[in-house]
Chains A and B, each alone.
Chain A
C-alpha cells in the first residue's frame, strides 16, 4: 500500500510540475497510462479532493476536475461535479450531457440523482419518475438522492402531475417505511405536508386535516401546514379557528418557517401574499 501511495505521490508531483507542463515534455495522460485501474482512481480522487475548496465553476476548479477525469475517465463523481455549475447557473444544455457521463459510469448513484434534478430544477415530472423507477431495478435497496427516498420524490413528482392516487400511494409507502425504521416523529415535515396537499386537492379534507395536524404536532412551526389547515377550517365554516390558524401561519412565515429552497421555487410554495389573501377571505 505504502509503495503504491509513494508511487502515486511521485507521479502526481510529476504530473503537476509546472516546468513539464510548460515545456510539454510529458503529458499527465501518458503518465497515468502506466497505472492500473485502482491507482488511476486513487490519483483521480487525490487531484479532485485537493482542489475541492476552489470556487465552483471557476476556471481553476473546472481545470482541476478535468485533470482528475484525465487521470481516470470513469470517475463518475468528478464527471458529475463538472456539470454542477451549469445546472446552478441556468445552462441545462451543457449540464445534461455532462451529467449523463456520470450516469454512464455509475448509474446506481446518479440515475436517482438525475431524477431529483429533473424534478426540482426542470419540473419535468415524467422524466423524474422514469429515473426514480429505474433506480428500483438498478439497486435492491431504496435510494436516497439528496437525502430523501425515491418514494418521497415520487410523491412530489406525481403531485406535480396532479396524479393524486399515485402521489398518495408513494407518500403512504414512504411514511410507513420511515415510521417503521425510525418512528413517526422522524418523518420529514414535507411528507405530511405534501400528502396532506394531495388529499386536499383531491377533495379529501378529512385525510388532509390529519396530515396537516401531524405536521403541526411534530414540527410546531410550519406556515404551510397551518395555511392549508386554515383553508379547511374556513370550508368547514369554523371561522374563529381558521382565523387563529392563519394568524399562526403568518407568525411562522415571518419567522422563516415555511417550505422554500435557495436554488429553486418549490412545488406549491406559498408566499406571504397567499396568507394575507386567505386571512382577508376569513375576515370577510
Chain B
C-alpha cells in the first residue's frame, strides 16, 4: 500500500474515532449519564395505557403508532373549527338529567390520523381536585359527546399524518357544565 494511502486511511479512521468520541461523550453528558427510575416512572408523564383505556378497540392508531403533542396536548389545533365550536356543540348537546354532582371531569385521550378519538382515560374529581366518584350517567354522557369524531381534526406534520394526545376538562357545578378547559 502506498504511503499516502496509509496516511489518508489513518487520518480517516482517526477522524471517525474522534467524531464517534465526541458524539458518544455528548450523548453521555446530555442523556446517558442520567438515571431513570423505571419502577416509579415506567413512562413519560401523561402516557396513556392503551391496554386499559376506555374505547380502546374502536379505532386503530396510524403508521408507527407514534403519539404527537404529548407535551401538553394538541390544544387549539385539535378542535374542528375552534374551541368555541366545540364548546357550542357540547353545550347544545349536553343534558343535565337531574345530576347534582360538582367537580372536574377530565378526559385524556388519543386521536388517530383519521381524526377518530379513542383510548380514553377518565379522571373524576371534586372541586378541590381530589379524586372522587361522579354520577356514572353524567360521565358516560360526556364521554360519548367528547369522543364524537366530528369534534377532532386530522393533524399532520409536513404532510405526514399524526396520531396525537389531547385532554379536555369539564368543570361541573350541580350537574351543569360551567367551564370547558383547557
Give chain B residues whose Cβ lies under 8 Å from the Cβ of A90.
Answer: 46, 73, 106, 108, 123, 167-169, 182
Give chain A residues whose Cβ lies under 8 Å from the Cβ of B33.
Answer: 16
Give chain A residues whose Cβ lies under 8 Å from the Cβ of B83.
Answer: 265, 271
| Contact indicator A123/B46 (Cβ below 8 Å) | no
| Contact indicator B35/A88 (Cβ below 8 Å) | no
Q: Could you say which of B37-45, B110-118, B134-142, B147-155 contacts chain A?
A: B37-45
Q: Could you say which of A30-38, A61-69, A71-79, A205-213 contacts chain B?
A: A61-69
* Chain B residue at minimum C-beta to C-beta distance from A82: B45
| Contact indicator A123/B181 (Cβ below 8 Å) | yes
CB distance from A61 to the nearest CB of B (A): 8
CB distance from B164 to the nearest CB of A (A): 13
| Contact indicator A92/B106 (Cβ below 8 Å) | yes
CB distance from A274 to the nearest CB of B (A): 8
Check: B133 CB closer than 8 A to any chain A CB.
no
Per-position binary interface string of chain A over residues 116-137, scored 1 when its CB falls under 8 Å from any chain B CB and 0 otherwise = 0000011110000000000000
Give chain B residues whose Cβ lies under 8 Å from the Cβ of A141.
Answer: none
Check: B17 CB closer than 8 A to any chain A CB.
no
Partner of A91, one of B31, B71, B123, B127: B123
Given contacts A91-B46, A264-B181, A271-B83, 16 further A-B contacts (CB under 8 A): A16-B33, A18-B35, A57-B71, A62-B45, A63-B41, A89-B108, A90-B46, A90-B73, A93-B129, A121-B181, A123-B178, A124-B127, A263-B72, A265-B181, A271-B82, A272-B82
Could you list which residues of chain A lie within 8 angstroms of chain B, going by C-beta atoms? 16, 18, 21, 51, 53-60, 62-64, 66-67, 85-86, 88-93, 95-96, 121-124, 260, 262-265, 271-274
9 contacts between A and B (CB under 8 A): A18-B35, A54-B31, A56-B71, A57-B45, A64-B35, A122-B169, A122-B171, A264-B181, A265-B182
